[in-house]
Amino acid sequence: MAFMQWDDQYSVGIKVIDDQHKRLFAMIQDFYDQMRQKHTREGISTLLKGLADYSLYHFNSEEALMTRHQYPGYLQHKNEHTKFIQKVEEFRLRFDSGQLLIPIEIAEFLKTWLSNHILKTDQQFAPFLREIGVK
Ligand SMILES: [Fe+2]
């Protein structure tokens, strides 16, 4: 079942970012699928770790573009990224220690956060980059 589906409204018009966002969409879909099927605690934890790692990599790419081009909203944007990584780590720790038994909460959080972040925060910073010729 499609849980996290890409469509054009999410495109920020910069290929490298769109490609990374698509990969994050696919990872969240994977997480959802695993969770719905017969999942193991270890499998879910590994997927979460992978998501945190890839998100970090992706955020670093965005932040490098922002600092390179002196984007004025850098600090605020970076702050959203940092909070997300902390939240995912917190979920993983709680899940690993058995305090969080319902991974659907995690899936919903990932989905809502990423959609909102792309549609609001990334869509604010992408026009700035496009204007100065970043593709
Ligand atoms: Fe971002």
Q: What is the pLDDT along the chain (135 residues), one digit of tens a residue?
A: 799 999 999 999 999 999 999 999 999 999 999 888 877 888 888 999 999 999 999 999 999 999 999 999 999 999 999 999 999 999 989 888 988 767 888 999 999 999 999 999 999 998 898 888 877
Residue 110 sits in a domain whose CATH number is 1.20.120.50
pLDDT at 88: 92
| 7: in domain | no
Residue 97 C-alpha to ligand 1 middle, in angstroms? Answer: 29
Q: Look up residue 29 and give its two tokens.
A: 């879909």
Residue 122 C-alpha to ligand 1 middle, in angstroms? Answer: 5
| 4: in domain | no
Residue 98 C-alpha to ligand 1 middle, in angstroms? Answer: 30
User: Which residue range is the domain that position 16 belongs to?
Assistant: 12-131
Residue 38 C-alpha to ligand 1 middle, in angstroms? Answer: 32
- The DSSP-derived string for 86-119 is HHHHHHHHHHHTTS---HHHHHHHHHHHHHHIII
pLDDT at 44: 87
| 6: in domain | no
Number of domains in the chain: 1
| 46: in domain | yes
